[in-house]
Structure 1
Amino acid sequence: MRTAASVRFKQGGHQMPDSRALCVSIIAPIYNVSVYLAPCVKSILSQSHSDLEVILVDDGSTDGSGDMCDQFALEDDRVRVIHRTNGGLSAARNTGINAATGNFILCVDGDDVISVNHVARLLAVFAAQPKVDIAVADFLAVEPANTYPAAGTLSRSAPEYLEREDALVRLFHQRGVTNSAWGKLYRSELFDGIRYPVGALYEDLPVTYRLFARARLVALTHDCTYYYVQRSTSITAQKQLNKRMDAIRFASEAVDNVAPFGDRVMRAARSRAFMESVFYLSDLPSSSETKLLDPAITTPVRNFRHEVLHDPEARADTRIFAFAAFFGLRVIWALAFSRILISNYARRHRKF
């Protein structure tokens, strides 16, 4: 298999066979999510677009999740279950991608929920504009609940169709699109030679921009049809500073890898690298810890703060952090910590 680096900017093919041209392979990595699994899978099987191949990858679950997956397969012949030894989210997702046969790939985390029209709304932009290779839905971060709105929140705004450079800039700046694997419908050929790095957290970061770099057009639908369920035991909810270094490394690599796209995209990538260092600082238990930081964390802050501050395409909060950076790492930490408190309060008090 070719490495991701060797093909990272290859443009994918664009011809779909006539037979089952709209078949969507939905890949859901499953690991010890028995409490959340039924709402997730039921939301997938309830899609208004029915031509689906649902691949549930049981990543060595020990809580009965694997048995639940098998039961879903008995009840619906669109479901395929792959049981594997535990290898982490990336390994499970890669297993699903390797097994997928549909013309489109959609990722759903095993503890999340999608609205009944999630797939249909994303497919609609492919029909409206044949050059679209990736369609993006909006999402809502929610607390676990017994039920979720079936139809999501549909936007009255027309989808945005972004050329490759614009899509990469928006992605790195996190303007209307995140690095997450989920919430996006991809033409399956975009994954040729690209897989998620096994054993790393923040594994979406080094992959999503490579997929965007292959896309002719990326469509932002603005429909909020994905429910990102917040739970304290999830991987991303756990504070793992050593694993946070993965994100800083991936962001630094991206700066070098997007050089062929020119200064504007590189500037956006440097802004992403700056913010990954800020995110690391926000995970520190106290500002006193900033004295012991690895230079790999502090260098993006010092090297890119001036550029980020004066970048008109950067988000306002990013530029505020860049301004704070001139007053020291402790000021950045205090600002980041305050931001987390405000965000958590808003999420707890949000209603559908």
Structure 2
Amino acid sequence: MREKNPLVSVVVPVYNVEPYVAECLDSVLAQTYRNIEVVVVDDGSTDGSPAICDQFANKDHRFKVVHKTNGGLSSARNAGLAESRGEWIAFVDSDDYVSPVFVEALLSAALSMNCEIAAIPMGRVFSEKGPCDLVRSLVEVPVATPLQTRDVQRLMLYQALDTGAPWRLYSRHGVLPEDSPFPEGLYYEDLATVYKMVARAEHVALVDCPSLYAYRWRKASIIRQNYRPIKADSSIVVSRQLYADICAWYPDLADAAASRCFSVNRMVYAQVPADQHAERARLWAELVKYRRVVAADPCARKRERLAATIACLGEGPFRAFCAACRRAGLLR
């Protein structure tokens, strides 16, 4: 029987976010659910972030700060998990912030419905400069809906539910592996990881309330950074593994997996500079695998179906389409 007041560990990876980290940690400090520990992982920051993190540890015993050499987001999350003790785990990115009832709402949903994961569709997006209004009370949060694992996978593959790790509360013993779950040395770690966690759950409690989490849109984020070869490396490795796993676990979701794999490789392809022909060729080979399936799939996102249809005409038209999307800021 599960505890009625279990310890929840909130893992916050931090890297050079001095303008934002205090707002993030203040929002975690303000949680209405009090039985939490906050594991803050300073991933080798070179700005004033470490000192701010230490200040929170000095004023509240529930905060623990881990200082480590820089290893990337996956490395920081894995380090935070290793230091955590909670029966339940939440991830909050240090440039974002959360509603005061974020933990309470998700934990209540998970426990009341006996689910190993509670999730929101995604966070509420706001710009770097603008504020974001979040729910302040549980009465503003809708009742959760229990979904079967396969249905959650389908929604994530078709991008009706985001794959971001911070949108969820996870049962440590129910869905988290004992070793480090996030792949180090790769981008798109959430896409590579969350579907595996969901696969270990029987049901997911979906709380349709994006206003529990404020997701800051930043030009400096990995998705919007200029192209680097690691992006192609990562999208290819992650999408191949995702496709193989989904087809093995849920054969009827093969088309949905093709849609998601096409999407991540399309996004990266659109960022490759025109003179990097070898990089484009690598990604184009991946897109060719999925283009006809996605173009014919009525369940795929309209943008993916359009992109896949154009890809069926050849790389030239597809390249022009991607350039237009890039200029319009529509890579995702």
Q: Partner residue of 1:211? A: 197
What's the offset of the Cα at 1:293? 4.2
Q: Deviations over 1:96-115 (max 9, x none)?
A: 01111111111111111112
The one of 282, 288, 312 equivalent to 2:270 is 282
CA contact (8 A) 2:271 2:326 kept: no
CA distance in 2 between counterparts of 1:276 and 1:179 reads 12
**Aligned mate of 2:216, from 220, 229, 236:** 229
Matched, 1:320 2:301: no
Q: Is the 8 A contact 1:27 1:96 kept in 2?
A: yes
Tell me by how many angstroms 1:136 deviates: 2.8
Identify if the C-alpha distance between structure 1 residues 241 and 86 changes in structure 2 by more than 3 Å, giving closer, same or farther.
closer
Task: In structure 1, list runs of 5 or more residues that go unmatched.
Answer: 1-14, 345-352
Q: Does the residue aligned with 2:204 lie in a helix, a strand or coil?
A: strand
TM-score (norm 2): 0.89
Query: What secondary structure sits across from 1:222 in the alignment?
Result: coil
Aligned twin of 2:110: 126
- Find the aligned partners of 1:324 and 1:150 in 2 and give their Cα distance: 40
Distance 1:293 1:77, change over 3 A: closer
Q: What does 1:35-114 correspond to in 2, within 5 Å? A: 35-114=19-98
**Aligned to 1:249, which of 216, 237, 240?**
237
Aligned: 1:297 with 2:283: yes
Change (3 A) 1:270 1:152: farther
* Aligned position for 2:176: 191
Structure 2 CA distance for partners of 1:146 and 1:37, relative to 1, 3 Å: farther
* Whole-angstrom distance in 2 between the partners of 1:262 and 1:227: 32
Query: How many angstroms does 1:78 deviate by?
Result: 1.1
What is the Cα deviation at residue 291 of structure 1? 5.1
1:108-127 C-alpha deviation (Å, 9 max, x unpaired): 11111112222222123213
Equivalent in the alignment of 1:348: none
Tell me if the contact between 1:136 and 1:185 (Cα under 8 Å) persists in the aligned partners.
no
1:266 corresponds to: 254
Cα offsets for 1:125-144 (capped at 9, x unmatched): 21331134342353122112
User: How far did 1:83 drift?
Assistant: 0.9
Cα contact 2:12–2:92 (8 A) shared by 1 = yes
Aligned residues, how many?
326
Question: Following the alignment from structure 1 to structure 2, what is the Cα–Cα distance between the partners of residues 324 and 290?
Answer: 21
Q: 8 Å contact 1:29–1:59 — kept in the other structure?
A: yes
Q: Does 1:164 align with 2:146?
A: no
Give the match for residue 240 of structure 1: 227
Quote the residue 1:181 is aligned against.
165
Superposed CA deviations along residues 28-75 of structure 1, whole A, max 9, x for unmatched, are 011111111111111111112222111100111121211111110111
Match of 1:8 in 2: none
Residue 33 (structure 1) aligns with = 17
Amino acid aligned to 2:52: M
Q: 1:290 to 1:275 in 2, by over 3 A?
A: farther
Gaps of 5+ in 2: none
* Shift in alpha-carbon separation, 1:145–1:271, aligned structure 2, 3 A: same
RMSD of aligned alpha carbons: 2.5
Checking the alignment, whether the CA contact within 8 Å between 2:121 and 2:167 is kept in structure 1 is yes
Q: Using the aligned pairs only, state the percent identity.
A: 30
Using the TM superposition, give the Cα deviation of residue 339 of structure 1 relative to its aligned residue in structure 2, in angstroms: 3.7
Correspondence for 1:9? none
Question: Is residue 13–residue 93 contact of structure 2 (8 Å, CA) maintained in 1?
Answer: yes
